[in-house]
Amino acid sequence: MRKLLSQFQGDKAIWAYVVLLALFSFMPVFSASTNLVHVVGTGSIIGLLFKHFGHIFVGIVIIFFVHRIPFDRLKYLAPIAWVPVSLLLFITALQGMMIGGANASRWIKIPLLNISFQPSSLGWIALIAYISWFLWRFADEKYTFGWSLLWLGVPTAFIIGPVLPSNLSTAAIILFTIGLLLFVGKYPTKYMTKIITGCAIMVALAIGMFKAFPDMAPSRYKTWEARFSRFGSEDKDEDRYQIENAKIAIAQGQMFGVGPGKSVQKNFLPQSSSDFIYAIIVEEFGFLGGISILIVYILLLFRFLVVSNKAPNLFGKYLAFGLGFSIVFQAFINMGVAVEIFPTTGQPLPLVSSGGTSIWMTCVSLGIILSISRKEEQVKEQLANQEKKQEEFKRILEEQQAEDDLKNENDSDDNPIYAVLNK
């Protein structure tokens, strides 16, 4: 058993928090599955639980195999990975499927496996890896704004472009993470100001054009506009309906909750196992349960920052920060939607919400972060071994010197000339 556990390397605290969240996820998913079976009439409780178990199991396998791959190899993949990923995103935008009635083509089916996959999550990882590579590769070089804009803008446009029309919230999270990553990577502030100003102008012009010429607006524009305009209002619509039921669930939870599986509002929340699973958690486990989940994600963020700070090189530093922050930021968005801090976004709660794509892509990110921390441990072990060898070598030299001194002293005693002189 000890030999098996020794294969799971890297930051032990991250492993512990991941396993804790994965095990805990079965309780709210089980509770939500009863709603899907008895109210919606979809599948069976055992079937849905086994499906979630399969997603979690495959996710842990993904973490294990990814964390065993030296992260430095990504240096060679990061500059080009965005090209095939962007191609997949464009194919999804043109031919993707709508699942659950959502007015958005976010999914693509993998041939033979018959598995639906959301490529935007893969684009998320690919773009963060590329930006991390850029900040590492050109860390000591001076470059012009136009040159850096070309290097940064083209991959970003090819990833965000096909994601934005169908998934505004994911595009916004990616852009925010990249902006923060550039700031941490000491990208020139004056360049950042120009980019932010330019983006703000483009957004304002696009909104003005869509209002003046509604026929030119993308199909999801009215959905975005409605969500922002009705956020915090009392107008009745589907989003408002979900928010109100989420708030009722949270209010019913009080301090200690109504108990596992005893949620009432799961019967009224269409996305109780994914987008609004945090509301079900608070209803069943109370304020203490909700705060506990929040604390686990905060602790995860702290460990991600520790891994980033101790990374053996700048590429690992930026990669760990970007991937780690995006995981926790997504969790904060999900929890914020449930308590109406943010408008409805459709973002899952990482490692807790049901859904294969969310779990697996989160596990890819976690595997990379653990690979970085694993490299830290290897470097630390190498330094310790070198120090140990130096101490051993020093000890051998001291012993040899002591033997030589003793031999010289004995030779002096046996020499008659030295004997006479000593008398």
SS (H, E, C) the chain: CHHHHCCCCCCHHHHHHHHHHHHHCHHHHHHHHHHHHHHHCCCCHHHHHHHHHHHHHHHHHHHHHHHCCCHHHHHHHHHHHHHHHHHHHHHHHHHCECCCCCCCCCEEEECCCCEEECCHHHHHHHHHHHHHHHHHHCCCCCCCHHHHHHHHHHHHHHHHHHHCCCCHHHHHHHHHHHHHHHHHCCCCHHHHHHHHHHHHHHHHHHHHHHHHCHHHCCCCHHHHHHHHHHCCCCCCCHHHHHHHHHHHHHHHHCCCCCCCCCCCHHHCCCCCCCCCHHHHHHHHHHHHHHHHHHHHHHHHHHHHHHHHHHCCCHHHHHHHHHHHHHHHHHHHHHHHHHCCCCCCCCCCCCCCCCCHHHHHHHHHHHHHHHHHHHHHHHHHHHHHHHHHHHHHHHHHHHHHHHHHHHHHHHHHHHCHHHHHHHC
Place 233 in a pLDDT band, splitting at 50, 70 and 90.
low
CA distance 175 to 181: 10
Measured between alpha carbons, how far apart are the two ends of the chain, in Å? 71
Distance CA 104, CA 300 (A): 32
Q: How many CA atoms lie within 13 A of 6 on its CB side?
A: 3
What is the pLDDT at residue 101? 46
For helices 168-184 and 120-137, angle between their N-to-C axes, nearest 10 degrees: 20
Q: What is the pTM of this model?
A: 0.84
Pairing of strands 108-110, 115-117: antiparallel
Percent of the chain at pLDDT > 70 equals 78
Q: Within a 10 A sphere around the Cβ of 350, how many other Cβ atoms? A: 25
Opening angle at CA 174, ends 280 and 142, nearest 5 = 150
Can you tell me the mean pLDDT for 189-213?
87
Most confident of 298-302, 380-384, 411-415: 298-302
Q: Mean of the pLDDT values across residues 238-259? A: 84
| pLDDT band, residue 356 (cuts 50/70/90) | confident
Average confidence (pLDDT) over 262-266: 83
Answer whether 344's CB lies under 8 Å from 269's CB: no
**pLDDT value at position 151?**
95
Q: What single-letter amino acid sits at 122?
A: L
Name residue 106's amino acid.
R
How would residue 307 be classed by pLDDT, with cut points 50, 70 and 90? very high
Mean pLDDT over residues 129-146, rounded? 93
371 vs 31, more confident: 371
Q: Tell me the Cα Rg of the chain.
A: 28
Q: Does the pLDDT value for residue 236 go beyond 90?
A: no
Model pLDDT for residues 326-351, shown as the tens digit of each residue: 999 999 999 998 888 888 888 899 99
The pLDDT value given to residue 332: 95
Give residue 131's pLDDT.
96
The answer, yes or no, to whether residue 102 has pLDDT greater than 90, is no
**Measured CA distances, 105 to 218, 308, 357, 359, 423 (Å):** 12, 35, 15, 20, 104
Q: Count of residues for the chain?
A: 423
**Average pLDDT of the residues in 388-403:** 70
Identify the pLDDT of residue 212: 76
What is the residue extent of each domain of the chain?
72-356, 386-422
Tell me what pLDDT residue 209 has. 80
Instruction: Look over the chain and give the mean of its residue pLDDT values, rounded to a whole number.
Output: 83
**Cα of 131 vs its chain's centroid, Å:** 15
Confidence class for position 235, pLDDT limits 50, 70, 90: low
User: Residue 208 — very low, low, confident or very high, per pLDDT cuts 50/70/90?
Assistant: confident
Residue 305 has pLDDT above 80, yes or no: yes
> At 116, phi and psi to the nearest 5?
-85, 135
Q: What average pLDDT does range 26-49 have in this prediction?
A: 74
When pLDDT is cut at 50, 70 and 90, the band that residue 421 belongs to is very low
Rounded Cα distance, 157 and 99, in Å: 25
What pLDDT shows up at residue 177?
94
CB atoms under 10 Å from CB of 215, counted, come to 5
**pLDDT higher than threshold 90 for residue 111:** no
Mean pLDDT, to the nearest integer, of 102-109?
60
Question: How many Cα atoms are found within 13 Å in the side-chain-facing hemisphere of 402?
Answer: 6
Contact yes or no for 79/130 (Cβ under 8 A): yes
